Structure 1
Amino acid sequence: TKALKVVPEDPLTLNNRGLAYIETGAYEKALEDFSAAIKYDPQYAQAFHNRAGAYLFSGDIDAACRDYNQAFRMGYSNSKMMIDRFCNVSNDSARAETFIMLSQEQINSYRPERAINLLEHALLLKPENPKVYYWMGSAYQQMKNFTASETAYSKCIAYDPNNAIAYSKRAAIRGAFLSNPQGALSDLNIALGINPDIEEALYNRAVANAQNKKFEPAIADLTKILDKNPSQSKALFMRGLTYMQMGQKDKACADWNSALALGNNDAANYINRFCKP
């Protein structure tokens, strides 16, 4: 902004400020700056490309694609990838998938607020799409809004009752953040009833059972994980804790030593406390 007071009609400065506005989610202000940059330099292809991005985050795929195509015609090659990904769609389902795809990228980049914005656009197009609610659950979890995350996963399950991963994710929220261990255990049992090989669900159920002193089922789940993935140091560490609670010190120490050899430094503390002669 300070630079604009000195050179108020500088396209490069306007473009850069537009990018900064996108970072903060101020898409209308970003559109204004990109449009001003184009006004002062109608051949500024990158400003067309960036304005397309602001339109996309604002939910206007048609306007975004017009600008991506214009930027590509002007020689900005980066726009071609965006055209191929997002502009060859013609129905609401496909457009909703576009927003879902974008939201996943934002979640992977730890920008959950942006992801929620995109998913809300997807909901307007396809309000009964379970994938929208699944990724909303993930985004809200990143934002530490655990109640909203649970609600989103519940809506995903309502539209897709056989989504084992959604049950597992909701269980993690209920068990770790919402003080609902019984709800978490119920979700994990359902998830593993649908797909008995979900490692995350097996591990979380083992933890829940161990906390409730149901040690044999906990050992069974952890052993199943380790039969398939012997280098899962977290499962080795947890099985060691469970064996120790069962009074089986030798087995606990063996698991902790194996976990330590795989780089699990938490195991070292327990080895020093319980396994030294």
Structure 2
Amino acid sequence: MQKVLLLLWVFTLAITTTGIAQNSDLYASPSERKSIAADYYEKGNRASKREQFPLAVVYYDSAIRLYGGNSDYYFARGQAKELADNNIGALADFEAALRIDPQHYTAMFKRALVYLKQKNYKQAAQDFTFLINNVETFETKAIVFKGASYDEKGEMIFSGIATLEDMMADVYLARAQTYEQMGFSTPTMLDYDKAISLNNHEPNYYVHRGLFKLKKEDAAGAEADFRNALEIDQFHRLALYNLSFLVDADEKNEIDKILYGVGDFAMAYSRRAFENYQKGNYEEALLDYDSALQIKRDNANDLMNRGMVKAKLDRHKDAIKDFETSVYTDNTLTRNFVLIGNSFQELNNYPQAVTYYQRYLRSGTGDGVVYYNLGLAYMKAKKDDLACEALRKAYDLGEERAEPALEQVCFRLE
């Protein structure tokens, strides 16, 4: 225990002496303070490049404390906060950078990207449009983390270092995504086209335009875009994954060899798991969901689906754990409560089954099947009055299977 405390004390001392501006620094001359601030700023940049974003924020704090008149310091701290999942703090810093320098257009771009993440589409579109109409090139001395990189779901993330020459293409791409969320079809396509005309060596641009074409039922156009992405990066997983839905069986098999052979593409495992589940191959489905969740442990849908597979395999206690984790991860997936109730029924724990069916029904969903299951649980718990009430509700909602049980239990009450 003493050793652990000693290590913690040493770590704290290191942060105090190297990561935070000392009081003595505050009494230095203005030129010295600017020099010390610049040193902290560079330390923050090095931490950011190593993806040590909380530490980078500490260094940038020190730079700003010593010299708060440099817009790049706020910009850099805003990026570090965003990358540390502090979007509100990031937004405040980007706005601070713009107050110091209204022409810090990279800060405006990053602010707009945060608006997009927050689903403030109107404000995001306004910023992107201003940049498109008023900026020819982006100029900044600050490190700029690229804003148009995407995870395996196609969601925008910060990664790598952007080239300022390519940033206008990123602006068009981001506005296209914004317009897509706002339901503006033609402007969306025009912006995707413009992004690609400005930067035709970025495979993600083609993938996103392809996905938009799929939504518009232009399968041929989507296939062409996915193939264009693969011309740039032959192992681009999102392009391969989406292309696999549009090709014949032979090519799909070749694509699957690439996706599954790499072994770390969660969506591919999820898809194959679902296919196995539909075929009744539950053991194979379980292995694939296990693989998917090793890659993305917090995928609430995969957790719920794996729970359903375990229930099919009569592993109800394990299934309940997956359902509970799923709804904890995404509280909108309230169907988990029904699945938990069903597993408790299979375990003959009828009071717990009732509890979870009621939790689902409290969400306001009038589901005849759930009322039917609730009625059966009450019957097995020998609560005929409550069973009669639930089964009658199920029947009224169109669940015809409730009729025989309804007649039986309600007849006993008469």
TM-score bracket for the superposition, by shorter chain length? 0.5 to 0.7
Q: Which gives a bigger RCO, structure 1 or 2 (Cα 8 Å, sep 6+)?
A: 1
> Aligned ranges for residues 4-153 of structure 1 at < 5 Å?
79-84=220-225, 86-89=227-230, 90-91=232-233, 95-102=236-243, 118-124=255-261, 126-153=262-289
Q: Which runs of 5+ in 1 are unaligned?
A: 1-76
Task: Give the root-mean-square deviation of aligned CA atoms.
Answer: 3.0
Aligned to 1:230: 365
Alpha-carbon distance between aligned partners in 1 of 2:315 and 2:410, rounded to the nearest angstrom: 34
Question: Any conservation in 1 of the 2:371–2:394 contact (CA below 8 Å)?
Answer: yes
Aligned to 2:291: 155
One-letter amino acid matched to 1:132: A
**Residues 212 and 79 of structure 1: CA distance in aligned 2, closer, same or farther (over 3 Å):** closer
**Residues 274 and 165 of structure 1: CA distance in aligned 2, closer, same or farther (over 3 Å):** same
CA-CA distance at 1:81 after TM superposition: 4.5
Alpha-carbon distance between aligned partners in 1 of 2:347 and 2:319, rounded to the nearest angstrom: 13
Question: Any conservation in 1 of the 2:226–2:240 contact (CA below 8 Å)?
Answer: no
Aligned to 1:70: none
Q: Which contiguous aligned blocks of 4+ residues in structure 1 show a shift greater than 6 angstroms? A: 111-117
> Aligned ranges for residues 254-273 of structure 1 at < 5 Å?
254-273=389-408
Alpha-carbon distance between aligned partners in 1 of 2:384 and 2:318, rounded to the nearest angstrom: 32
Alpha-carbon distance between aligned partners in 2 of 1:78 and 1:165, rounded to the nearest angstrom: 26
CA-CA distance at 1:118 after TM superposition: 4.6
Aligned to 2:316: 181
CA-CA distance at 1:98 after TM superposition: 3.0
2:297 counterpart SS class: coil
Q: Which runs of 5+ in 2 are unaligned?
A: 1-217
1:179 counterpart SS class: coil
Alpha-carbon distance between aligned partners in 1 of 2:378 and 2:250, rounded to the nearest angstrom: 42
CA-CA distance at 1:147 after TM superposition: 1.0
Question: Any conservation in 2 of the 1:104–1:135 contact (CA below 8 Å)?
Answer: no
Larger-gyration structure (1/2): 2
**Are 1:249 and 2:384 an aligned pair?**
yes
Question: Any conservation in 1 of the 2:327–2:334 contact (CA below 8 Å)?
Answer: no
Question: Any conservation in 1 of the 2:379–2:409 contact (CA below 8 Å)?
Answer: no
Percent sequence identity is 14
- TM-score of the superposition, structure 2-length normalised? 0.42
Alpha-carbon distance between aligned partners in 2 of 1:159 and 1:78, rounded to the nearest angstrom: 30
Alpha-carbon distance between aligned partners in 2 of 1:274 and 1:112, rounded to the nearest angstrom: 53
Aligned to 1:210: 345
CA offsets 1:150-197 (integer angstroms, 9 cap, x no match): 000000111111112212111111111x23222222222322332344
CA offsets 1:227-276 (integer angstroms, 9 cap, x no match): 22432111111111112222221221221111112211111121122223
- TM-score of the superposition, structure 1-length normalised? 0.60
CA-CA distance at 1:100 after TM superposition: 2.5
CA-CA distance at 1:128 after TM superposition: 0.9
2:362 counterpart SS class: helix
**Residues 263 and 174 of structure 1: CA distance in aligned 2, closer, same or farther (over 3 Å):** same
Further displaced range: 189-198 or 220-229: 189-198
**Residues 105 and 201 of structure 1: CA distance in aligned 2, closer, same or farther (over 3 Å):** farther
Alpha-carbon distance between aligned partners in 2 of 1:185 and 1:161, rounded to the nearest angstrom: 16
CA-CA distance at 1:78 after TM superposition: 7.1
1:87 counterpart SS class: helix
CA offsets 1:122-168 (integer angstroms, 9 cap, x no match): 234x5311111111110111222211100000001111111122121
**Residues 98 and 232 of structure 1: CA distance in aligned 2, closer, same or farther (over 3 Å):** farther
One-letter amino acid matched to 2:288: A
Alpha-carbon distance between aligned partners in 1 of 2:331 and 2:263, rounded to the nearest angstrom: 30
2:324 counterpart SS class: helix
The size of the alignment, in residue pairs, is 194
